[in-house]
């Protein structure tokens, strides 16, 4: 039984015991914030002047591009143990890329070649997966294809940035542990022409299960095996302490929001400003849309345009479920990030929208069904796809160019954010506002005991993973593969 009730930073506390914590319980909540913007550490390089500078993105320090050649970005990433501070008096022994948690922001332009020289200084093997980017099959970090990088060894990842948008990277070996320990970072791929916002921010949202001894053991509790590992501390850009941002009335910003938690779907609201969604997992939308709430399952990203019409406080709230005094679940808004908007009396600056390529209509030419279920196996709870725990052989074979009507059937109560590697999909609208989510996705939420239909575009040949992004579900079997056969 674990309680963390006496921290000085607590906004409010639900003295929870993690043994009986469920998806519906949120424990101690600490006012988080975003890390302050970091100065650009890139030294001036002669050839770089030939290109327009990359967008300045606030929130996470960028990695240095070591290759001045236009069209090539070259990064060094090193994974190693790290004593990680998430607040003034809260730390744990974790892992980090380049001693940063989250890892450095990787930035490139569409069409660039991205080269990442990776060094594994962890005490265990690992790989890097470029979540959402359509990379060549052998660069995807799938440990069944790429022999994991052993401790002390290096590997060079090399691929072309085919798609603009907000992406992220993380390991794909013992992912539920390595990611929770701190191995994840954002990627921003920009188009030749981007809207000129007053500021772009990256907001990496996470939660972490923390106590004074650090990170409690993994997969040790029934709720963790059942619902995934829910944290008791909310993190924004790796921090659990508030450092508000600043802005001016009349300004327009882009927030690149991503959920890198192991399991927690975030229900987000933005108070104090008007906003609209301009991009999703697969990049810029052809038409922006407005919404009151963003439901962001783990793995997904949203690009949101924020308009500071009024002075005052603008906040990004996550609605956290909590048990009230009489045992009912209620949702409590919790501030993940906050901006103080200074009064200027200025009217709103107009930032012309730069539309993404509309998705060409494609008739589905094949169908597939994926059933999400659980069984009690010899070692306890197992999560299954189409009746198999961690199937060895690919579940499906498609042809390059196939447009697949995928029916995702969830037989049990826990939800599953379903992630496809190497390809995009769209959610087929079903008329319910909650599932009305335009744009390309690489991760789609399949709520408990329900069916979701998606259209998947099999345009990238190879043998790819398809799994639940609740990392504990994936670790306990909900991890499969499919093949896309080369057209020639």
Task: Give the residues lining the site for ligand C2O (CB under 6 A).
Answer: 129, 131, 170, 172, 299, 419, 421, 465, 467, 469
186 Cβ contact partners less than 8 Å away, ≥ 6 residues apart: 60, 102, 105, 106, 166, 167, 168, 202, 204, 256, 258
**Shortest Å distance, C-beta 427 to ligand C2O:** 18
Q: How far is the CB of 468 from Cu ion (least distance, A)?
A: 3
Among 170, 473, 479, 481, binds Cu ion (CB under 5 A): 473
- Residue 9 or 408: the one with the smaller Cβ distance to ligand C2O is 408
Q: Smallest distance from the beta carbon of 465 to ligand C2O, in angstroms?
A: 5
Q: Which does 473 bind (CB under 5 to 8 A by kind): Cu ion, ligand C2O, none?
A: Cu ion
Interaction of residue 471 with Cu ion, rule CB under 5 A: no
The minimum distance between CB 196 and ligand C2O, in angstroms, equals 31
Are the beta carbons of 365 and 457 closer than 8 angstroms?
A: no
| Residue that the structure tokens 């000129």 belong to | 196
Which of ligand C2O, Cu ion, none is residue 170 near (CB under 5 to 8 Å by kind)? ligand C2O
Nearer to Cu ion, 321 or 438 (CB): 321
Using alpha carbons, list the distances in angstroms from residue 274 to 39, 47, 290: 29, 40, 9
Which of Cu ion, ligand C2O, none lies near 32, with the C-beta cut-off 5 to 8 A by kind?
none
Q: How far is the CB of 143 from ligand C2O (least distance, A)?
A: 10
Residue 468's binding partner out of ligand C2O, Cu ion, none, with CB under 5 to 8 Å set by partner kind: Cu ion
Q: What does 416 interact with, of ligand C2O, Cu ion, none (CB < 5 to 8 A by kind)?
A: Cu ion
Q: Which residue has the tokens 């954002």?
A: 186
Q: Which of 60, 314, 470, 483 binds Cu ion (CB under 5 A)?
A: 470
By C-beta, is 422 or 461 nearer to ligand C2O?
422
Residues between 379 and 418 that touch Cu ion (CB under 5 A): 416
- In the complex with ligand C2O, the residue whose CB is nearer, 112 or 481, is 481
- In the block, tokens 């979540």 appear at 131
Minimum CB separation of residue 299 from ligand C2O in Å reads: 5
Q: Kindly tell me which of 24 and 271 has the beta carbon lying closer to Cu ion.
A: 24
Looking at residue 475, what DSSP letter applies? Answer: H
Residue whose entry in the numeric block shows the structure tokens 């498609």: 398
Which one of ligand C2O, Cu ion, none interacts with residue 181, CB within 5 to 8 A by kind?
none
Name which of 113 and 453 has its Cβ closer to Cu ion. 453
Which residues, including other chains, have CB under 8 Å from residue 429's CB and lie 6 or more apart?
A: 435, 436
In the bound state with Cu ion, the residue whose beta carbon lies nearer, of 209 and 468, is 468
Instruction: Compute the half-sphere exposure of residue 393: CA atoms within 13 Å on the CB side of its CA.
Output: 3
Please choose, out of 45-53, 101-109, 257-265, 467-475, the segment that lies near Cu ion by the rule CB under 5 A: 467-475
Structural tokens at position 185: 């970072």
Residue 472, C-beta contacts closer than 8 angstroms, at least 6 positions apart: 176, 219, 224, 225, 227, 228, 229, 262, 263
- The dihedrals phi and psi of 451, each to the nearest 5 degrees, come to -125, 135
Cβ nearer to ligand C2O, comparing 172 with 229: 172
| N-term to C-term CA, the chain | 58
Task: Give long-range contacts, CB 8 A cutoff, 24+ apart: 431-436.
Answer: 434/295
* Cis geometry, peptide bond prior to residue 120 (ω within 30 degrees of 0): no
Q: Shortest approach of Cu ion to residue 416 CB, angstroms?
A: 3
Residues contacting Cu ion: total by CB under 5 A: 4
d(CA 230, CA 224): 7
Q: Which does 470 bind (CB under 5 to 8 A by kind): Cu ion, ligand C2O, none?
A: Cu ion
Considering the complex, state which of residue 262 and residue 317 has its C-beta at the smaller distance from ligand C2O: 262
Residue 427 near residue 446, CB atoms below 8 Å = no
Task: Determine the length of the chain.
Answer: 488
Residues that bind Cu ion (CB under 5 A): 416, 468, 470, 473
């Amino acid at each position: 039984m674990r309680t963390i009730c006496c921290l000085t930073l607590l906004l409010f506390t639900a003295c929870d015991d993690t043994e009986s914590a469920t998806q519906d319980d949120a424990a101690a909540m600490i006012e988080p914030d975003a890390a302050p913007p970091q100065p650009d550490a890139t030294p001036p390089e002669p050839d770089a002047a030939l290109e327009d500078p990359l967008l300045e993105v606030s929130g996470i320090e960028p990695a240095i591009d070591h290759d001045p050649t236009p069209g090539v970005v070259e990064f060094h990433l090193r994974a190693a143990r790290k004593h990680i501070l998430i607040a003034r008096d809260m730390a744990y022994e974790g892992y980090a890329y380049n001693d940063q948690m989250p890892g450095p922001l990787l930035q490139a332009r569409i069409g660039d070649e991205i080269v990442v020289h990776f060094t594994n200084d962890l005490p265990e093997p690992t790989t890097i997966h470029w979540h959402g980017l359509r990379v060549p099959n052998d660069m995807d970090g799938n440990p069944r294809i790429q022999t994991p990088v052993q401790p002390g060894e290096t590997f060079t990842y090399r691929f072309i940035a085919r798609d603009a948008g907000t992406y992220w990277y993380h390991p794909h070996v013992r992912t539920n542990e390595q990611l929770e320990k701190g191995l994840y970072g954002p990627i921003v791929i920009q188009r030749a022409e981007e809207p000129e916002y007053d500021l772009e921010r990256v907001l990496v949202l996470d939660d972490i299960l923390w106590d004074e001894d650090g990170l409690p053991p993994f997969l040790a509790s029934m709720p963790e095996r059942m619902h995934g590992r829910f944290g008791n501390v909310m993190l924004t850009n790796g921090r659990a302490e508030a450092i508000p941002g600043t802005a001016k009335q009349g300004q327009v910003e882009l927030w690149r929001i991503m959920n890198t938690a192991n399991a927690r779907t975030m229900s987000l609201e933005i108070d104090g400003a008007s906003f609209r969604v301009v991009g999703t997992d697969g990049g810029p939308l052809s038409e922006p849309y407005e919404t009151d709430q963003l439901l962001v399952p783990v793995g997904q990203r949203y690009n949101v345009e924020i308009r500071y019409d009024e002075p005052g406080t603008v906040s990004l709230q996550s609605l956290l479920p909590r048990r009230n005094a009489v045992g009912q679940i209620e949702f409590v808004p919790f501030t993940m990030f906050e901006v103080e908007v200074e009064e200027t009396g200025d009217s709103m600056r107009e930032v012309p929208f730069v539309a993404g390529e509309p998705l060409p209509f494609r008739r589905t030419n094949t169908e597939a069904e994926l059933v999400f279920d659980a069984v009690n196996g010899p070692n306890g709870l197992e999560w299954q796809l189409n009746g198999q725990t961690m199937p060895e052989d690919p579940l499906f074979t498609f042809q390059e160019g196939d447009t697949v009507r995928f029916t995702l059937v969830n037989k049990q109560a826990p939800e599953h954010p379903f992630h496809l590697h190497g390809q995009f999909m769209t959610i087929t609208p079903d008329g319910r506002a909650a599932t009305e989510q335009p744009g390309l996705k690489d991760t789609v939420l399949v709520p408990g005991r329900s069916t979701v239909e998606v259209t998947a575009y099999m345009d990238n040949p190879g043998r790819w993973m398809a799994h639940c992004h609740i990392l504990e579900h994936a670790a306990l079997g909900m991890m499969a593969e499919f093949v896309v056969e080369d057209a020639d």
